[in-house]
């Protein structure tokens, strides 16, 4: 089992970097299309600086922003002594400083981790999670969340969000400017390349979003594998995922902007679907995650 988990971990690291490379190619491609069409890199430079500044600021204050959006409160160390002990012990095992611990008053079993680095990390769990899981299952979930911290997933997510922001903003500027006739189609003298440039810019935001979601799903698989290796008991996390998926209602304050941070889709299992809709999911299907954990 450990060998399978290590292999799965390595595969997901490699796939994440492959997706990131594809993402970079999309960003470079849209930069070329805009620069060629307008014969000026100025618009692209402004868009890159704006998108990067906005998203780096969000990354810097990610813990405060996400905690506020989730309506979480600090977990009292006496009232939630068992939770604090589990998080402290697993943090020591993982070689991480103990993160700040938060509670979300919500009957839906769920949890998330956030923070720009290990020193500023936050782990939050719902009251529903504490009521639903036994100790081994809770340890599996906490190990998963600590793995997000150890794997620097917030940094990866921020880089991806910056790239998505750049692609979306540049695409929007390009299309708006083209509509109002400021482009250099005639001056550039190649209508075929102009059509290719326009088609690429139109499709680039869709491709960027799909790559963002694919990276998010791979990071969930990676955190599952890393968490199982941390506890040395993959069945604990697998059983926790079964129980979490058995709760059909969404969280009381589900938020699209933070949905990808949770261990399970906060909008409930009904938000997941097969076919093409699977491409737009923020989380891999629970069944696939359990099979990966158990080596099935």
What is the Cα–Cα distance from 11 to 179, expressed in whole angstroms?
44
Chain centre to alpha carbon of residue 120: 18
Contact 159, 20 (CB under 8 A): yes
How far lies 229's CA from each of 5, 170, 212, in Å? 7, 42, 26
Chain centre to alpha carbon of residue 1: 26
Binding site as annotated, residues for Zn(2+): 144, 148, 220
Sign of the C-alpha dihedral computed for residues 279, 283, 288 and 292 taken in this order: positive
Name the residue with tokens 């990276």: 215
Binding site as annotated, residues: 144, 148, 220
Burial 105-141 (b: 16+ CB within 10 A, else e): ebebbbbbbbbbebebbbbbbbebbbebbeeebbbbb
Which residues are annotated as catalytic? 145
């Amino acid at each position: 089992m450990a060998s399978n988990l290590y292999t799965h971990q390595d595969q997901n690291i490699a796939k994440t970097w492959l997706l990131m490379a594809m993402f970079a190619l999309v960003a470079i491609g849209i930069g070329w299309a805009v620069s060629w069409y307008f014969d000026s890199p100025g618009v692209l430079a402004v868009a890159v600086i704006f998108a990067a500044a906005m998203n780096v600021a969000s990354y810097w204050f990610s813990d405060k922003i996400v905690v506020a959006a989730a309506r979480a409160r600090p977990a009292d160390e006496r009232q939630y002594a068992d939770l604090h002990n589990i998080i402290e012990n697993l943090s020591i095992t993982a070689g991480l400083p103990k993160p700040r611990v938060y509670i979300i008053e919500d009957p839906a079993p769920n949890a998330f981790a956030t923070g720009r680095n290990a020193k500023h990390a936050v782990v939050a769990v719902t009251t529903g999670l504490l009521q639903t899981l036994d100790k081994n299952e809770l340890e599996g979930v906490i190990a998963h969340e600590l793995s997000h911290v150890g794997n620097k997933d917030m940094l990866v997510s921020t880089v991806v969000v910056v790239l998505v922001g750049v692609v979306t903003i540049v695409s929007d500027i390009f299309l708006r400017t083209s509509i109002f006739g400021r482009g250099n189609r005639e001056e550039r003298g190649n209508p075929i390349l102009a059509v290719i440039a326009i088609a690429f810019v139109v499709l680039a935001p869709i491709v960027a979003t799909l790559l963002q979601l694919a990276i998010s799903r791979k990071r969930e698989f990676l955190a599952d594998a890393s968490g199982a290796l941390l506890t040395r008991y993959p069945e604990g996390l697998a059983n926790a995922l079964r129980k979490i998926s058995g709760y059909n209602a969404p969280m009381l304050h589900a938020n699209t902007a933070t949905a990808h941070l949770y261990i399970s889709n906060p909008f409930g299992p009904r938000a997941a679907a097969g076919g093409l809709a699977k491409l737009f999911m923020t989380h891999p299907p629970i069944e696939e995650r359990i099979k990966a954990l158990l080596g099935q």
